[in-house]
Structure 1
Amino acid sequence: MFKLGNIYYGFKLIEETEIKEIQSIARIFIHERTGAKLLHLKNDDDNKVFSIGFRTPPSDSTGVPHIIEHCVLSGSRKYTTKEPFMDMIKGSLQTFLNAMTFSDKTLYPIASRNEKDFFNLMDVYLDAVFYPKIYEIPEIFMQEGWHYEIFSEEEKIRYKGVVYNEMQGAYSSPERILGEAIGKSLYPDTCYQYSSGGNPDVIPELTYDDFLDFHRKFYHPSNSYIFLYGNGNIEKQLKHIDENYLSNFDKAQIDSTIKIQMPFSSRNEIIDYYPISSEESDENRSYLSLNFVLGKNTDPETYLMANIIGQLLVGLEAAPIKKALLDEGIGEDIFPITSGGFQPSFGIVAKNTSTDRKKQFEKIIFKTLTHLVENGIDRNLIEASINIVEYDLREASRFPTKGIIYNMLSLDSWLYDGDPLVHLQFDKTLNQLKSNIDTGYFENFIKEKMINNPHSSMVIIEPKKELGAEKQRALEEKLEEYKKSLSKEEINKLIESNRKLKRMQDTDDSEEAKATIPKLSLSDVELKAQPIPQEVIKEDKLTILNHNIFTSKIAYVDFYFDISMIDEELIPYINLLIGLLGKIDTEKRPYSELSNEIYIHTGGINFDVTCYDQKDNDSIYYPKLIVNAKAIGNNIIKMMDLISELITQSKIEDRKRIKELFQQMKSRIEMTIFDAGHTVAASRVSSYFSPSKKYIERLKGLDFYWFLSDILERFDKDSNEILANLNKVYKKAFNLNNLILSFTGDEDDFNMIKSSLDIVTEKLNKEEFKPIEYTFKEEKLNEGILSSANVQYVSKGYNFKKLGFNYSGSMKVLSTILSRDYLHNKIRAQGGAYGAGILLDTTGHIVTYSYRDPNLDKTIKVYDKMADYIDNLNISEEELTTYIIGTISQLDPATTPHMRGQIATNRYISGITQEDIQKTRDEVLATKLEDLKTFVPLIDKAMKEDYLCVLGNESMIRQNEKLFNKLVQLKK
């Protein structure tokens, strides 16, 4: 038993309380000697979490907090390899292992179900943050941050560095530039005016000495926030942290105070620019954002209201500001934008509009807000908005490692000297807000925090052709001038520092260094693959899959409709259709009322489309339209009723509304392309040789994006034909034949679902159909996809089964070695990209990818030498065991209850049995070095097929034009 006021291994217990919302006992400790703060959440979760965080407010945009986050994980006092972080990923059973830079804090969280692994990971992270090698090895800063790259006197000087290139990729996104500008506009006297990740234009101003000073100042126990979660032995954990680390330090006075921005007397305005390619139109491509500071995050009501008001005014389909702006044609997409930090803000963004609509944009917003205050807000809209936020809290944002989310929730008050438990004890605040629905509270909040709040800003982001090229020219001139300013001796000194870095990168870790990395053994690994409970019930044309899994009383229902009868030319219309459902009128009610009904009674009804490969053959695949829904208790019946209404009574006829939704759909795709560029390129290259991936590409890849762009171009002229095709797909797709219902939850809720199933099935199309055989031919397109991105996403791939090879579970170990060793070293550490990897699957796909990559042809050459690397691979049995354990962690990822139900369903559709899962696991565990060598001809032949796709910078792709069969504009 713990007692208040007692000291446990240097930690004084100052508070203990039960938090029913997250089924945990919370204990707050202070470390007597250093002042380090520690929060422990004790519960039954075996997925244990440790995190250490520091308050790290930046004083410029050099990205020093972000660069330090990378660098401290590159060698420490006890763990002396070049990258202990990567070494742990290779051979840990971790369920989460990462580090994160926020605008005012840096976090180092880990999670594992295995106690030995948990302590190993915790120790590596503690040693990394307190005793990094950065003071002894400046090359770490050069590699991870930035440096001048030059290897001969004749060469031009370039900037190189992992964070530098990562942020080049981040700043390819106009939404990133918008977010930065909002920070500058609302908090000009605080740390939030700066980019903690680093602005690529400013990163090279960071000196090595300033970098070290930042670490000296902030990375001290007195400035730390330690978090422990799960069913682990807390006394053992406290003892380890104190005896091995904190007891070595004394209390220090560290000024990491986060300054409050004093309120404005009038609205601020900022204009910034984002690059578009020379071929793109700049008409109606601006962003307008009206933003308000709402208060402080330490206040629980303000904290929740920032998200609730976002849903209420802009997020939901019934949101009045969104509707008013779209009705007036201001922007093709309207969405909310919120910021965290000490003083939360809420913004309303109009995307794809023109700057001359600014006054109208502002006028409509305030007119709508005033109307809401004077006439009252629809209580259903308020209730729906609160419900969305409540589900998010109760499901821990649907993140499989809940402890990570609880850590972040605690820090959203704790970091600002508030109560670390206030956002975890959310019931009281939610109940208070619910009781205020009819009191005028929400209207007064809008009046005070928005209408009468001068602490606000208008941010305008405009497109600028050739901005990227201009910046590139200016950078080249700057570097040329810099080189001219250097003496021959200084140039040679630079060359030598680059050679020294390259020698470090090329030199393998010594056996002594490798021995410092803690390791697990195969005896720590569970030999049996854990089955997911699944009961299969066949009923005439319907299959029911029941997953009896504890879900905290939330019932999850997924309907998988067979869409293999849809004509080939109508495939993209399936994705268009699901973008409409729930957002258009039905025969029973208008979409605004429908939206409220959905979120008042359920946790959401969502639609998706995909296809599942037969487990060992990508020529056989099963296209599915999926309806996901969730509800609690008696709302299950209402949920089933709403699903039926959506899939049988939607009215596809309102041309204006449908066009608005298509524009929004296009906008949302564009917002994700550069963040997921590696996925876009890998999916595209797979579609050249894989029938199932070609289907996916038509359904929701770049083919779909270009199809949608074309539909919008000709919508006004061809709307009759477009609506007719949508209706055709709508009537065919929701068919009872071959329908699969997947349920995840408890037995009582399953019985309720089963007894109410007729509500959905009775109105479905029951017409028999034959699957269409689509004719997708192999086609070596080898495209260079031209964009305004500052970096590349490079992918090569093929199907090894077409080359006569068979799948083996050992390929997963091969993938681990190539991704986390060879490709990481060559493409990230040496090449400066943010990431790289390779995928091999049971259907025969072998696909490589790079992420935010400054290179193009160099990366392709790295892929082409993978076979040589494996051919020459010489590793000990112990090293191979490490890779095997790291591979097992990928087979056993953290999952939510609903995810487990979905995984089991996906396996059922693909024909994957528990025996198949166990066979793969057995083959992983039995992998020998000679097994890996047998894959050399497979890799060699697959890469020699030379199927290639690159999404990236227009200028870089044009410089390498000879590599491609065709060049294609991303935005046509």
Structure 2
Amino acid sequence: MEIGKSYSGFKFVEKKNINELNSIGMIFQHKKSGARLFFLKNDDDNKVFAISFRTPPENSEGIPHILEHSVLCGSRKFPVKEPFVELIKGSLNTFLNAFTFPDKTMYPVASMNDKDFTNLIDVYLDAVFYPNIYKYPEIMMQEGWHYELDNKDSEINYKGVVYNEMKGAFSSPESILFRKISESLYPSTQYGVESGGDPEVIPELTRKEFLDFHNRYYHPSNSYIYLYGNIDIEEKLKFLDEKYLNEFNKINIDSRLREEEPFKNQRELKINYPISSSEKDEDKTFLSLNYAVGKAVDSELYLAFDVLEYLLLETPSSPLKKALIDANIGKDVFGSFEASMLQPMFSVVVKNSNENEKDRFKTVVLDTLKKLVDEGIDKKLIEASINIKEFQLREADYQGYPKGLIYGMRAMDSWLYDERPWIHLNYEGNLNKIKTALKDNYFESIISKYILNNTHSSLILVKPERGLEEKREKRAREKLNNFKAGLNEEELNKIISDTQNLKNRQKSEDKKEDLERIPLLSISDIDKNARKLELVENEEFGIKTLFHPAFANGITYVNLYFDTTSVEQELIPYMSLLSTVLGKMSTKNYDYEDLSKDINIYTGGINFTAQSFSKNGSIDEFYPKFLVKSKVLTSNLEKLAELVNEIINETRFDEYKRLKEIIQETKSRMEMSMFDRGHMVVANHTLSYFSPISKYDDLLSGLGFYKFICAIEKEFDVNNNKILNNLARVASQVFNKDNLIIGVTCENKDYDKFRNSINEICSSLSKDNLKRRAYDFKLEAENEGLMTSGKVQYVAKASNFIKLGYSYSGSLQVLKSIANYDYLWNEVRVQGGAYGSFAAFLRNGNMFFTSYRDPNLKETVNIYNNAGEFFKNFKADDRQMNKYIIGTISDLDYPLSPSAAGQRAFENYIRNITYRDLQKEREQVLGTTVKDIEEFSNLVSDVMKENYLCVLGNEQKIKENKDMFKNVFNLFE
């Protein structure tokens, strides 16, 4: 292709070799419509497409977010209610979602199958350009908000998916803080409002505003189209032009992003957040110092500040974090550098502090930074921070996201702001400039300019207030009651009629001919064979060694799996604590700061996890392991072995102050995750009522561990000797040669280098005879209601179907797809207004339903209880069944990075899952029939009748339904 020439209406504008990604970047402009297009050409078969629009919000009504949901609810060519869901059911996609950012809305898809990839693009483009939102007001009502009123005598309420999603988002003080940071720094711009929507403001959104926003911004002239991978670009340009873009003429769209003028003085904000009625308010305040930092299009500063934030706040040797912890201002310290905005922002946050520490917090931050500027930053720390970031950039292993999508997001961090899309991808030159910091005062100058001498900053205090949520609920209830009281007969009937129309639409079935418009692969497009993960079983130095050969770009991944059945039952939580402290405490030959630096200089990271693996085909048997997971450039394998050996054999557990800091931070981070992953918190805890492996996992990483960490933090000053003795005891029981299996992923040519280096670890391990233990857990239906100040619920029910006489089959994975994207989606999300609801059917027989950011409680439990009846009456034609099967195969065939593939192979070996088992499961998936699904109805009904239940949610809602629980208590102290 020649620059300056046109191809299917697209002018080829510019190209650039991006050696860092082994790609060629190509910029095109569609002449008729004005659409921009960026293509990253390479040999990656996991192809990515995205179309994005610049969508600056003017208020906090959440229009960009509600629109993101709504355009995926039917369109001109695909008029079904939920094309998005139909695609998930029946596509081989490796990614399918949409994102609302503060200044843009992005619609990405990915697939390794080219026919499927084109189908996904077709549905998404029709959705954004020709959505059914103009036809059906019920779409905005469902996805955004509406008044719900069933009859004249019933209570009027607000309902809507985004409304409840954002109630959930605003339940967490961390979320409130980070939303207020951009508001504090950029109050007169698009970043000063909430693009996702503030629940107190969302009900002000009108249908006219909603439609006007789409009409204004969703045009090709305001679009940014991204393609990535091993793609026939001329064929795709032809498709885009003929199917969509040639229908539009280029227009001028004012979507300019407003820039905040620098402040002359620092702003201060104080915000309250709700806590439950019996929760203490001491040590619950957040303090945050925030700075506007240059422009996103300054690619060198963009990368440098990412390194600087890590250097100052993210490692055990980070000087600013250490100074704040040493000053005892709070119990946890972390930072943030947010660069996906016109004016990036840098934040320093102290958690679990108090209001009276505000001035001292600011003083410690500024004095520490001034000292670093005056005396210089430790060069070894700089080297460590640059190296770990460089390793991450080169590895490009983004678990859960195709790397092409991450590159697309990074491209938008300049392209949206009228710069070339590759300036943050072409990072080598900037990295070399940043490396001058090893010789000069590079970072010291940045600190001085962008923090110490920067008045464009804010100081935020987010403090707890007991009863605040009740006041808000009362205010909202009074507002609704007054609104209803002010309605005349005609207005009242209109709301009742609108409510009924919405419910009728939600319950109605799509026409068969409309469903058949959604493009679908055939079963013949599916590989009949399960994925083979090569595994070579060796023995090195008397230790079983599993080798997964793979091209890993010069990186070797080493996993050490230590059996932990020698650890006493009462010490199980200490294994998780051990995994948290290792690498963060001093050893015989390193203080913890120098250890952290060497880990980051010589490796890509050494991580520790206590976990378990269920035995294939068994209800109760499992293999508890302590995993040491590491990655390193092959040339540094010997140094990796030296560091791992030092950590597992020579860690000093007698640093009381350091141990207390880690415990406090661990508790803080667990609290922060409760609202973000509340659906899995309750699902896993419900499983712990009856399942030995789940009880074990609960003690390692669930609510059982959270209770443990709260207790030892409270008792630390009295019981610190006991705590460190237990840690040392567990370490001695775990790190033994007889416990070890090694897993290694690297190229064949590098295996000998691995073998030569690993002996240092093997020869240093204890060879004591260990007593193996059989755990005997007390299992009972605790059925807990975990009360918080949150505004929504996370509702789970579970049991084990093998114990009830059923067996595992791959067809259960098809049942899971139907449960997720038909029954639970329609009942819990669409009609119930929750953000999501999910099912799982595991090989060991454990099964659960769980919901996410759910306004309901009892209603959701009733939906779970009625699931069996749904499956009993399940009907689908051959096309529909093929769709569910293809969607299920998509989950089984998700592309794996070299490290993830190696880890999957090792885990299958540990769990006794053979290739024959995987092939049998795949054949069962491919052979699933309607009759199979109908026959699972009794399984689902019987599981629900067991009535194992756990709910995390709003204090008042749980109290109103307390008869459903055996135990009700506040989750947080």
**TM-score when normalising by structure 1:** 0.99
Aligned partners of 1:169 and 1:789 also within 8 Å: yes
Q: Which residue of 2 aligns with 1:374?
A: 374
CA distances 1:481-516 after superposition (whole Å, capped 9, x unpaired): 110110122111100001000000111101121121
CA distances 1:156-186 after superposition (whole Å, capped 9, x unpaired): 1110000000111111111110011111111
Note the C-alpha offset of 1:333: 0.3
Note the C-alpha offset of 1:310: 0.7
What one-letter code is carried by the residue in structure 2 that aligns with 1:312? L
Does residue 275 in structure 1 map to residue 274 in structure 2?
yes
Q: Which residue of 1 aligns with 2:50?
A: 51
Whole-Å Cα distance in 2 between the matches of residues 409 and 383 of structure 1?
Answer: 24
Secondary structure at the residue paired with 2:473? Answer: helix
Alignment CA distance shift 1:951-1:660 (3 Å): same
Determine what percentage of the aligned residue pairs are the same residue. Answer: 47
Alignment CA distance shift 1:634-1:565 (3 Å): same
CA distances 1:386-413 after superposition (whole Å, capped 9, x unpaired): 1222222223352451110010111111
Secondary structure at the residue paired with 2:621? Answer: strand
Q: Which residue of 2 aligns with 1:353?
A: 353
Q: Which residue of 1 aligns with 2:644?
A: 643
What one-letter code is carried by the residue in structure 2 that aligns with 1:761? C
Whole-Å Cα distance in 2 between the matches of residues 137 and 588 of structure 1?
Answer: 69
Alignment CA distance shift 1:541-1:614 (3 Å): farther
Whole-Å Cα distance in 2 between the matches of residues 540 and 409 of structure 1?
Answer: 45
Q: Which residue of 2 aligns with 1:600?
A: 601
Whole-Å Cα distance in 2 between the matches of residues 327 and 752 of structure 1?
Answer: 42
Whole-Å Cα distance in 1 between the matches of residues 656 and 856 of structure 2?
Answer: 45
Equivalenced residues, count: 971
Alignment CA distance shift 1:104-1:242 (3 Å): same
Comparing 811-820 with 387-396, which one deviates more in the overlay?
Answer: 387-396
Aligned partners of 2:324 and 2:330 also within 8 Å: yes
Secondary structure at the residue paired with 1:683? Answer: helix
Q: Which residue of 1 aligns with 2:293?
A: 294
Matches within 5 A, 1:401-800: 401-539=402-540, 542-800=543-801
Secondary structure at the residue paired with 1:18? Answer: strand
Aligned partners of 1:824 and 1:836 also within 8 Å: yes
Whole-Å Cα distance in 2 between the matches of residues 538 and 496 of structure 1?
Answer: 73
Structure 1: give runs of 5+ residues left out of the alignment. Answer: none
Whole-Å Cα distance in 2 between the matches of residues 560 and 492 of structure 1?
Answer: 66
Q: Which residue of 2 aligns with 1:802?
A: 803
Comparing 135-144 with 927-936, which one deviates more in the overlay?
Answer: 927-936
Matches within 5 A, 1:317-396: 317-340=316-339, 341-396=341-396
Secondary structure at the residue paired with 1:109? Answer: strand
Q: Which residue of 2 aligns with 1:238?
A: 237
Whole-Å Cα distance in 1 between the matches of residues 619 and 753 of structure 2?
Answer: 37
Aligned partners of 2:276 and 2:970 also within 8 Å: no
Secondary structure at the residue paired with 2:77? Answer: coil
Note the C-alpha offset of 1:31: 0.9
Q: Which residue of 2 aligns with 1:932?
A: 933
Note the C-alpha offset of 1:618: 3.2
Does residue 874 in structure 1 map to residue 872 in structure 2?
no
Alignment CA distance shift 1:208-1:397 (3 Å): farther
What one-letter code is carried by the residue in structure 1 that aligns with 2:804? L
Whole-Å Cα distance in 1 between the matches of residues 437 and 659 of structure 2?
Answer: 35
Structure 2: give runs of 5+ residues left out of the alignment. Answer: none
What one-letter code is carried by the residue in structure 1 that aligns with 2:242? E
Whole-Å Cα distance in 1 between the matches of residues 750 and 344 of structure 2?
Answer: 39
Secondary structure at the residue paired with 1:156? Answer: coil
Aligned partners of 1:318 and 1:592 also within 8 Å: yes
Whole-Å Cα distance in 2 between the matches of residues 844 and 263 of structure 1?
Answer: 59
CA distances 1:256-275 after superposition (whole Å, capped 9, x unpaired): 11111111111111111111
Note the C-alpha offset of 1:436: 3.4
Cα RMSD after superposing both structures: 1.0
Q: Which residue of 2 aligns with 1:199?
A: 198
Note the C-alpha offset of 1:913: 0.2
What one-letter code is carried by the residue in structure 2 that aligns with 1:772? R
Whole-Å Cα distance in 1 between the matches of residues 348 and 197 of structure 2?
Answer: 25
Secondary structure at the residue paired with 2:501? Answer: helix
Whole-Å Cα distance in 2 between the matches of residues 358 and 748 of structure 1?
Answer: 57
Note the C-alpha offset of 1:571: 0.4
Matches within 5 A, 1:301-312: 301-312=300-311
Note the C-alpha offset of 1:778: 2.9
Note the C-alpha offset of 1:541: 5.0
Whole-Å Cα distance in 2 between the matches of residues 327 and 397 of structure 1?
Answer: 35
Aligned partners of 2:564 and 2:739 also within 8 Å: no
Note the C-alpha offset of 1:538: 3.0
Aligned partners of 1:397 and 1:405 also within 8 Å: no
Whole-Å Cα distance in 2 between the matches of residues 373 and 940 of structure 1?
Answer: 66
Alignment CA distance shift 1:387-1:645 (3 Å): same
What one-letter code is carried by the residue in structure 1 that aligns with 2:857? L
Q: Which residue of 1 aligns with 2:147?
A: 148
CA distances 1:698-749 after superposition (whole Å, capped 9, x unpaired): 1111011011101011110111111111111122111111311111121233
Whole-Å Cα distance in 1 between the matches of residues 415 and 544 of structure 2?
Answer: 49
What one-letter code is carried by the residue in structure 2 that aligns with 1:915? R
Matches within 5 A, 1:54-93: 54-93=53-92
Whole-Å Cα distance in 2 between the matches of residues 552 and 219 of structure 1?
Answer: 41
What one-letter code is carried by the residue in structure 2 that aligns with 1:855? N
Q: Which residue of 2 aligns with 1:18?
A: 17
Q: Which residue of 2 aligns with 1:188?
A: 187
Secondary structure at the residue paired with 2:224? Answer: strand
What one-letter code is carried by the residue in structure 1 that aligns with 2:611? T
Secondary structure at the residue paired with 2:803? Answer: helix
Whole-Å Cα distance in 1 between the matches of residues 766 and 564 of structure 2?
Answer: 12
Aligned partners of 2:541 and 2:759 also within 8 Å: no
Whole-Å Cα distance in 1 between the matches of residues 207 and 126 of structure 2?
Answer: 21
Aligned partners of 1:306 and 1:344 also within 8 Å: no
Whole-Å Cα distance in 2 between the matches of residues 213 and 895 of structure 1?
Answer: 42
What one-letter code is carried by the residue in structure 2 that aligns with 1:443? E
Comparing 817-826 with 299-308, which one deviates more in the overlay?
Answer: 299-308
Q: Which residue of 1 aligns with 2:312?
A: 313
Note the C-alpha offset of 1:33: 1.2
Secondary structure at the residue paired with 2:796? Answer: strand
Aligned partners of 2:167 and 2:199 also within 8 Å: yes
What one-letter code is carried by the residue in structure 2 that aligns with 1:628? K
Note the C-alpha offset of 1:539: 4.4
Whole-Å Cα distance in 2 between the matches of residues 491 and 308 of structure 1?
Answer: 58
CA distances 1:270-301 after superposition (whole Å, capped 9, x unpaired): 11111111111100110000111110110111
Note the C-alpha offset of 1:930: 1.1
